[in-house]
Amino acid sequence: MDDQSGLVEKTAQQVVEAHDPRTTPTQEFFGAVYDAGLSWVHFPVGLGGLGVARGLQARADAILQGAGAPNPMSLNPIGHGMAAATVFEHGQPELAREILRPLASTEHIWCQLFSEPGAGSDLAGLATSAVLDGDEWVINGQKVWTTLAHVARYALLIARTDPDQPKHKGLTYFVLDMHAPGVETRPLRQMTGQAEFNEVYLSDARIPDSHRLGAVGNGWRVAMTTLMNERSAIGGTSSVRGNGSIADAVELWARRPDLHTPVLRDKLATLWTRAEAQRLTDQRARVGATSGQPGPEGSIGKLVMAELNQDVYEFCMELLGPEATLYGDYTLRGVERVADYRGPVQQRFLRSRANTIEGGTSEVLRNILGERILGLPGDLRADSGKAWKDIPRG
């Protein structure tokens, strides 16, 4: 075992011995994880890291989760999986020191203000505006499909600062306080009955320039940091074998022996094999990582995870047969934390339909993989080089 590996494993053992994750309050436990440098091990000491190779995060997570700790991605997915890396990479040092610890402890939940009614998969076509007024930016526009906006303290926001530039070049990136005046959140009822997604209306909301990430007009580059981390985080798996959606299928199978058939047994075995292959592939990628940000390869894990999740829950519905239709609680209600998603398996089946849309649709991800991994010709883009203001919009 090399010195870095030994340091990570020793530190993780010390954390779980001093703060038993099964009895320590969540925020206290993850605050201790941050202070020990295990939130993102490749970050510098004092900012939630140890300054070691990125791939050693897998070893830390295996010890923490093996002792009973939840995956922080299940509690603060946008914050832990995307915002931390973006703020660290592109924010001013003072902003990182202010934001990262309450983010890591899950005290502050985060959301991501990217998609708009007229700019979903075409993110660079967004219309939300940011105008500089002294040392503040005035924001106006509408965002949509914003997960956890109703409980978020901060948001990652990309807005248009120069409509005379081509759509990818006139964007700037910010951190928005969701409690600021001019920020209104409205829930969107989903087919599960829950309201996890939201519309967010921004009416003369103000952001200090110190909360800008990256240079003015360089928002697309900053957004790529977020998106690459998002896809790697969504596509990532637990370090514990058999966790995730496949655990739901196995639990249901064990609980309902009256529904077993040889055909369904074969299907479950195939799904288990796919899930384990995904977990091991993810672990290999994480261990092999050294430093820097994830690349387009992260799209592979997200694409595989989304389609596997849908197949797992379709299996559960097939196993239940007519019982699968017995989901009648469509009462509109919010979701306080991501862990609250868990309900009847029918609910998880309905929720899984979003997996191939959120975080980049499967069609977009296949384009990314084709163009940036396989080197295939890109799609024709009729708006290439045109000023955003001159591009027709519906």
Backbone angles phi, psi at 204, to 5 degrees: 55, 35
Q: Please state which of the four CATH numbers 2.120.10.30, 2.40.110.10, 2.40.30.10, 3.40.1180.10 is assigned to the domain occupying 110-223.
A: 2.40.110.10
Owner of token pair 């011995």: 17
Q: According to CATH, what is the number of the domain 3-104?
A: 1.10.540
Backbone angles phi, psi at 68, to 5 degrees: 110, 5
pLDDT of residue 288: 56
Q: Where in the chain is the domain with CATH 1.10.540?
A: 3-104
Half-sphere exposure of 358 (CA within 13 A, CB side): 21
Could you read off the pLDDT of 102-123 as tens digits, one per residue? 999 999 999 999 999 988 778 8
Owner of token pair 């798996």: 237
Q: Where in the chain is the domain with CATH 1.20.140.10?
A: 224-373
230 assigned to active site: yes
CB atoms within 10 A of CB 291: 10
How far apart, in whole angstroms, are the C-alpha atoms of residue 157 and residue 115?
10
pLDDT band for 339, please (50, 70, 90 cuts).
very low
369-373 own/partner pairs: CB under 8 Å, 24+ apart: 369/296, 369/299, 369/300, 369/303, 372/295, 372/296, 373/296, 373/297, 373/300
- Of 35-44, 84-93, 361-370, least confident by mean pLDDT is 361-370
Q: Where in the chain is the domain with CATH 2.40.110.10?
A: 110-223
Stated pTM of the model: 0.86
pLDDT of residue 74: 85
Could you read off the pLDDT of 235-293 as tens digits, one per residue? 555 556 888 899 999 999 999 999 999 999 999 999 999 999 988 887 776 665 555 55
- Of 75-89, 127-141, 317-331, least confident by mean pLDDT is 317-331
Of 17, 230, 307, 358, which residue is the catalytic one? 230
How far apart, in whole angstroms, are the C-alpha atoms of residue 319 and residue 323?
9
The string of DSSP letters for 110-148 reads EEEE--BTTBSS-GGG---EEEEETTEEEEEEEE-S-TT
> Is 224-373 CATH 1.20.1560.10?
no
Amino acid in the structure at residue 351: R
